[in-house]
Amino acid sequence: MNASGTDDDRDAGRDGDRDAGREGGRGTVGHTGGEGGRGTAGPAAAPDTRTRLLEGALRTLAGQGIAKVSARSVAAAAGVNQALVFYHFGSMDELLAAACRHGAEERVARYRGRLAEVTSLSGLLAIGREIHDAERAAGHVALIGQMLAGAQTHARLGPATAAGLDLWIAEIERVLRRVLSSTPFGEFADPEGLARAIAASFVGLELYEGADSEGAGRALDALQRLADLVAAVDALGPVARRAVRAHLHRSVARPVRSSRSAE
């Protein structure tokens, strides 16, 4: 697949200009050039054409893989004329980039309330495993794999995939800042870096699971044990907690003093 679609796609795009013109005249909500006419709105309204194309692209990616994605296949999945792919997005790369963002926004929004209720690292891992199972069953694990594969060859897909992952990372970081703030580790942890590590771990596990589901399960169990260890330290009395903090202060400061001495 190239950035502007196949020759057949472009020919069909020219043949379907009248359909695109009618689409613009109706003023579909979400049109890249702005709303016109009355448009449609409200919870009872059917998805507009742009949204149908975004969701069609995601279904095609997950079901057929990046190599089979074209204006023709996406339009068929969306149930619209393929000329509307270029009318709304200009190119297939633009459509795929927008679809990545759209999919990530929908998935993060689905779990944001649950993540806001997490009060411990163990709780974060528990909901992480729940999300992992639900997303795998819904086919979104395969979708992530195709996005990552496509990012290697499609210039616009890489930044779009990273932006989608950043939405998850931001939510995880909020949880980490909240649950670590009252623990002995709060002042030493790097919530942003740790959030990226957790997100990368889950993405890697989702892809690894296809090759070794038992190994992926053991990896998640190991993460759970680490969270339990953190909870055990946090449950210690005030004297022990102060001792842990003091030790961490010495451990964190030691490399700094050593480097200065070397200078």
| pLDDT at res. 248 | 67
| pLDDT at res. 199 | 84
Divide the 263 residues of the chain into consecutive groups of 10 and give the mean pLDDT of each group.
44 46 41 38 63 93 85 94 94 90 91 91 86 80 78 80 89 91 77 88 75 82 79 71 70 51 44
Q: Is 62 helix (H, G, I), strand (E, B) or coil?
A: helix
Domains in the chain: ranges and CATH: 7-90 (1.10.10.60), 95-258 (1.10.357)
| Tokens read off for 101 | 């963002």
Contact present, 94 and 57 (Cβ < 8 Å): no
224-228: which pairs have CB atoms within 8 A and are 24 or more residues apart?
224/122, 224/125, 226/121, 227/120, 227/121, 227/122, 227/124, 227/125, 228/122
- Tell me the whole-structure pTM to 2 decimals: 0.67
| pLDDT at res. 24 | 45
Residue closest to 60 by CA, chosen among 99, 21, 90, 20: 99
Residue closest to 80 by CA, chosen among 124, 20, 167: 20
Q: Is 35 helix (H, G, I), strand (E, B) or coil?
A: coil
